Amino acid sequence: MDFFKLKERNSSVKTEAKAGFTTFLTMLYIVPVNAAILSQAGMPLEALVTATALITIIASVFNGFWSNTPIAMSTGMGLNAYFSFVLVGQLGIPWQSALGIVFISGMIFLVLSFTKFRSWMINSISEDLRRAISAGIGAFIAFIGLQQMGIIANNDATLVALGNLREPNVALGLFGLAVVIVFFIWKVKGAFILAILSTSIVAWAFGIVPPPNEIFSLPASVAPIAFELDVLSALKLAFIPAIITFFVTDLFDTLGTLAGVGFRAGLFKKGSVELEKTLEADAAASVASSLLGVSTTTSFVESASGVEEGGRSGLTAIFAGLFFIFTLFMLPLFKAIPLNAIYPVLVMVGVLMFAELVNINFKDKSVAIATFLIVIMMPLTYSITYGLAFGFVSYTITKLLTKEFKDINVGVIFLFIISLLAFVVH
């Protein structure tokens, strides 16, 4: 096992296996959750379960060998909701074209992985704005989760209002939300998947949805969605903001995860090869995800759980990926899980992302205004793209008005222009 440098990193195969299993447990929820969310775009749930499991296996194992870091990968939360509820649901883009957008953004990410663009991009944007983007996406996906559960309902007079909490499905969603919050507060390992299963058992017991007739079956085919992407239809000026959204969000999400997990593992020091290789693996996985028929793949912050168990090498990611093979055979169980057992997890993920606000410097007027607009406009416009656009435009204009020219660099101007373009093509 010299390849993984286990002795150098004070680890062992046993420790890496245990760490990989821990990461697997904390990430297991992504298979039913991602499949449920993307199925709202009109894609078959059965194929999505298989595709989500496969991309998790492929991306995690590939990263383990390529970068030798304990980072597991799968389809990113937030962008999967943007894919289904905005691109397809709101804008009416066929899911095949939306996959084309994912492919293009992934290819851009992959090509730029071998240049200095990423470091230039990151250095151009203040850490405060990066945290604001995370918080904004958190608010957005939490809003989607509450809406899909029926806790937030449409109202012609006020746009939104409280839903009918007496309706069984809505009550189930509230119960699921309470369970996931309690498990998270208690720091239960695998809190998300255990909350989903607990809520599902309640739904089955009270006859809200029928229980599964069986637990295991052979994997469903991915043929209905694999290689069905339509790249040519995605090559439109109107789709540039969406492509930028996938690219920028994945970039910041990945770097934020790697910074946090890498700190705990003692990895990713300045100029480290491991960081570059992990970013390359992440980019390659994003391209592969569009080919398999799912939304953008990213590095999972749940990898931190494996690191806490002592995982220090790529062997952790490989073990985590291989454990996902079991999920390929659990289709009947995943199909029986009610949506309102899944959407509470979306809300909780939103809460965790929203918590980034605590680290933002609100004394800077430009940052305060941009952060507010990013966080409030993402859910109100039902779009990550427009939330980003409002934020970057306001940030640039405010910096000009306050004559803080040192904070306006080429990267900020580039994003300012892209943001204006988002409004123009709208």
SS (H, E, C) 330-386: CHHHHHHCCHHHHHHHHHHHHHHHHHHHHHCCCCCHHHHHHHHHHHHHHHHHCCHHH
* DSSP states of 242-268: HHHHHHHHHHHHHHHHHHHHHHHHT--
**What is the reported pLDDT for 390?**
95
Give the residue among 88, 96, 49, 74 at the shortest CA–CA distance from 222.
Answer: 49
- Provide the pLDDT confidence category of residue 308 given band limits of 50, 70 and 90: confident
Q: How many other CB atoms are there within 10 angstroms of residue 127's CB atom?
A: 14
**DSSP category for residue 85:** I
Q: Summarize the confidence of residues 2-10 as an average pLDDT.
A: 88
The Cα–Cα gap between 201 and 426 comes to 44
Per-residue pLDDT tens digits for 147-195: 999 999 999 999 999 999 999 999 999 999 999 999 999 989 889 999 9
**What is the reported pLDDT for 251?**
77
How far CA 174 is from CA of 40, 184, 316, 337, 350, in Å, comes to 21, 15, 35, 16, 16
**What is the reported pLDDT for 212?**
96
**What is the reported pLDDT for 398?**
97
The Cα–Cα gap between 231 and 243 comes to 12
The pTM of the full predicted model, rounded to 2 decimals, is 0.86
On whether the CB atoms of residues 321 and 64 are closer than 8 A, the answer is yes
The Cα–Cα gap between 242 and 22 comes to 34
Q: Summarize the confidence of residues 30-42 as an average pLDDT.
A: 97
The full set of domain ranges for the chain reads 2-116+141-228+263-360
- Provide the pLDDT confidence category of residue 3 given band limits of 50, 70 and 90: confident
Q: How many other CB atoms are there within 10 angstroms of residue 111's CB atom?
A: 11
* Alpha carbons within 13 A on the beta-carbon side of 269: 1
Give the residue among 71, 87, 101, 103 at the shortest CA–CA distance from 38.
Answer: 87
Give the residue among 368, 352, 375 at the shortest CA–CA distance from 260.
Answer: 352
How far CA 272 is from CA of 67, 259, 263, 286, in Å, comes to 11, 12, 13, 22
CB burial class (10 A; 0-12, 13-18, 19+) of residue 278? buried
On whether the CB atoms of residues 318 and 303 are closer than 8 A, the answer is no
- Provide the pLDDT confidence category of residue 264 given band limits of 50, 70 and 90: low
On whether the CB atoms of residues 128 and 356 are closer than 8 A, the answer is no
Residue 71's SS3 state is: coil
* Alpha carbons within 13 A on the beta-carbon side of 103: 20
